[in-house]
Structure 1
Amino acid sequence: MGSQWVRPYTPGNGRWLVIVWEAVALALLTWASIRQFDLIGHGVRAVACTLAAVWVIGAWRILRHGVYVSSDGVLIRGLLRSRSMRWHDIAGVHLHQSIHKLGRWELQNDTTVLIERHDGATVNTELWARGVDFHSRPKLFRAVYQEIRNRHRAAAEN
């Protein structure tokens, strides 16, 4: 897949809140670790540098997180892994309403975009209607969904 990957939407401001939240959490973990183990000197620097590196890598992955498209296919970048699929491997792109059961009750969670492969497997995307990117922009969520579907249709026609 040699073509250029493009994210068909701009990331939401909620990502920055997540990154700041994680910075505060890791700062508290650093402080607690130093206090708990009575670290001094090199120990303090080692813990602080290690957790700072974890934060930088995590923040970078959060910023790159999402769904990208190209003329060849779709790329889904998650926090821990990425996967790409060619358009001809994809049978369809659908909206899915996730529901959680709690005893007799059904709780509607959120709408997400699912990719169905020709082998019958489904692939979750990182696109959630009420996620950090689309929470206050529902029209953008629908537009991104339509963009992915249109690209899939165009690739199937060729």
Structure 2
Amino acid sequence: MPLPFLTADRAHDDDAAAGADPLGYEDQDRWRRPYRPGPWRVGGAALLLLLASYVLFSAMIIAMAGSLPAAGVCGAFGALMIVTAVRLVRSGVEVSPQGLRRIGLLRSTTVRWRDIAAIRTTQQPVRWLGLPRTVQGQAVLLQRVPGGASDTLFTSHDADFLGQAESFERAADAIEGWAATHH
């Protein structure tokens, strides 16, 4: 079974940055993340899954005690925690020949390549792990064709790249490479 998140960090290869698949077996039209999920994102999801296991175990104990409505509520809460953990790991930026997709915890947005004016890396104050605290860092910005404000795709201090400057540079180069070849 192919695990695409394990081979996603091939952005330093010229073929992978340009969107070509050197392995030859992957579908060229599928959405793919050009970088691996970071340790903060994976660690947070792992903690959430650990808590979900305790909640589901509690639901089983409550059901055996005879309180089925309370067990149902507890089980539903555990299932919600599992869905949130999966969505947390899945969030990030994906690319395909059709365009660029930014997946967030609650919503996703897709922009076609022809609607993108520029993708650039800039030095600016960025939020540390998505919290209100800002630090000086780098951000990859998306500028749409009709004008308007730039959208931040990812930063050097988010859950995927905190403490991993080289991974951030490879991911930024990969996204810019996709934009250059599909523009």
Q: State the TM bucket, normalised to the shorter chain.
A: 0.7 to 0.9
2-structure distance, mates of 1:99, 1:9: 20
Distance 1:99 1:78, change over 3 A: closer
In the TM superposition, what are the counterparts of 1:81-96 in structure 2 within 5 Å?
81-96=107-122
1-structure distance, mates of 2:162, 2:78: 29
| Match in the other structure for 1:15 | 41
Distance 1:3 1:99, change over 3 A: closer
Q: What's the CA shift string for 1:94-115, capped at 9, x where partnerless?
A: 2242368xxxxxx535432120
Q: How many residues align?
A: 141
Distance 1:99 1:65, change over 3 A: closer
Of 54, 61, 70, which residue of structure 1 is paired with 2:96? 70
Of 98, 104, 128, which residue of structure 1 is paired with 2:125? 98
| Match in the other structure for 1:139 | 166
| Match in the other structure for 2:63 | none
TM-score w.r.t. length of structure 1: 0.74
- Over the matched positions of the two proteins, sequence identity in percent amounts to 26
| Match in the other structure for 1:123 | 151
**Contact preservation (8 Å) 2:45, 2:85:** yes
5+ long unaligned stretches in structure 2:
1-27, 59-65, 128-133
2-structure distance, mates of 1:99, 1:131: 9
| Match in the other structure for 1:35 | none
Of 48, 52, 67, which residue of structure 2 is paired with 1:41? 67
Runs in 1 of length 4+ with deviation above 2 angstroms?
A: 20-28, 107-112, 121-124
